[in-house]
Structures are given as C-alpha cells and as structure tokens.
C-alpha cells in the first residue's frame, strides 16, 4: 500500500532504462496519478481530473483495462492531437511504471507526457501547470492540484489517504473544471502552427 507520501516521490529515477521515444510524438499521454481503488481521497484527485476530462472529451465510456501497462486507458482527441488518458491500476508509489510502459507502447517521449496529481503545498482550489518537476522526472509536464496541508495533529499520510470533507467536496467540481480547462489550454498551446494560420 502507498505510504501516503506526496506523489512527487514516485521513483521516476527507476525508469531511466525504459525505451523513451527520441522525437516528439503526434500524441500526448495524460496520466492521472493516485492510489487505484481509493476513490474520493485527496491523494487520488489526479484520477478524478482524468474522469472529468474523459467526460468532457466524450470518452467516459471508453475506459478499457490495458494489461500491458497495468492501467485503465481511454483514447481521445483534442485540438487535433491524439490523447492517451491513463489511470494506473497501482498504488501511487508504482504509478511511474504504468506511465513508462504506456510511453513505450504508444511511442511517447517524456515531453509528451502530462502528470496530474495532488499538491500538499498548494491550497485547495489552486491549480498550476509546470514543465518538469525534478531531475529524476525528466521533462514531463505536471498539472498540480492543490489539496492543502493537514491541520492539528493529523499526519500527512492519514490526510492524503482520507476522503475530501463534505465542504471540500462542494468546491471540488469547480476545481476539476478548472484543472481540465488548464490542461486543454496547455495542450492546445503545444499544437504546431501551420504557416498560414498565424494571423
């Protein structure tokens, strides 16, 4: 079971030997990180974003289990790019194995991958997108969803593995909408511009 540590602790350094594609792909992989099966918990909010994204792209019924990468996968299209939506069927600390396997299957490089995950250091409702996260996570783009820090004597592990409160859940729908909008706008910004489409 996951230790409950922030998802930035996923052991991306263990993935250096995978067969990353050497050139930019016409596809993007959007991976919602979390603890598979622990739905509704703060640590799995990345997977909730993926479910919301799938609904918006009309592929909510398209999730299929892909045993090759141990993940739920749905294929979609946005702004002319093929999207591989991914929810690893593993606990958080092993999510990276599913992401790397999917990258091999779909011939994706690190720069073609979005990681969507919770962030303790951002207040609930804050959404931010950032290129890369650390030297060990290559150049994957991260969409960070703020969940805030626990108050009182609640441990971080218990906090991230607990469900959102009723009050937080009321705010969550708008947060998911904001996260999906931010993600799609960033994807659109990466679509190559045709020479005649600049004006």
Tell me the per-residue pLDDT of 86-118, one tens digit each, with 9 for 90 and over: 999 999 999 999 999 999 999 999 999 999 999
For residue 92, report the phi and psi dihedrals to the nearest 5 degrees. Answer: -50, -45
DSSP H or E stretch at residue 169:
helix 166-189
Q: Please report, for the domain that includes residue 123, its CATH number.
A: 3.40.50.1470
Tell me the per-residue pLDDT of 1-54, one tens digit each, with 9 for 90 and over: 333 333 333 444 445 455 544 445 568 999 999 999 999 999 999 999 999 999
Domain-located, residue 8: no
Average pLDDT, the chain: 86
CA distance 40 to 9: 21
| Enclosing domain of residue 147 | 29-188
The model's pTM is 0.85
Q: What is the spatial order of strands in the sheet that 141-146 belongs to?
A: 64-66, 71-78, 81-88, 27-32, 113-119, 141-146, 127-131
Tell me the per-residue pLDDT of 4-18, one tens digit each, with 9 for 90 and over: 333 333 444 445 455
Domain-located, residue 54: yes
Tell me the per-residue pLDDT of 162-195, one tens digit each, with 9 for 90 and over: 999 999 999 999 999 999 999 999 999 988 776 5
Domain-located, residue 9: no
Which are the catalytic amino acids?
Answer: 43
Domain-located, residue 115: yes
Overall domain count for the chain: 1
């Amino acid at each position: 079971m996951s230790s409950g540590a922030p998802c930035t602790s996923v052991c991306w350094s263990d993935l250096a030997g995978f067969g990353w594609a050497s050139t930019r792909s016409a596809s993007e992989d959007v991976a919602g990180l979390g603890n598979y099966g622990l739905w509704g918990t703060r640590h799995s909010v990345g997977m909730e974003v993926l479910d919301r994204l799938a609904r918006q792209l009309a592929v909510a019924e398209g999730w299929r289990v892909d045993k090759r990468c141990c993940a739920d996968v749905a294929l979609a299209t946005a702004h002319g790019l093929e999207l591989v939506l991914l929810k690893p069927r593993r606990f958080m600390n092993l999510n990276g194995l599913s992401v790397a396997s999917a990258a091999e299957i779909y011939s994706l490089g690190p720069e073609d991958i979005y990681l969507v995950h919770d962030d303790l250091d951002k207040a609930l409702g804050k959404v931010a997108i950032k290129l890369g996260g650390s030297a060990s996570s290559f150049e994957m783009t991260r969409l960070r969803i703020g969940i805030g820090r626990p108050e009182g004597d609640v441990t971080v592990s218990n906090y991230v593995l607990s469900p959102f409160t009723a009050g937080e859940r009321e705010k969550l729908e708008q947060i998911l909408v904001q996260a999906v909008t931010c993600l799609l706008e960033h994807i659109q910004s990466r679509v190559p511009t045709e020479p005649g489409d600049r004006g």
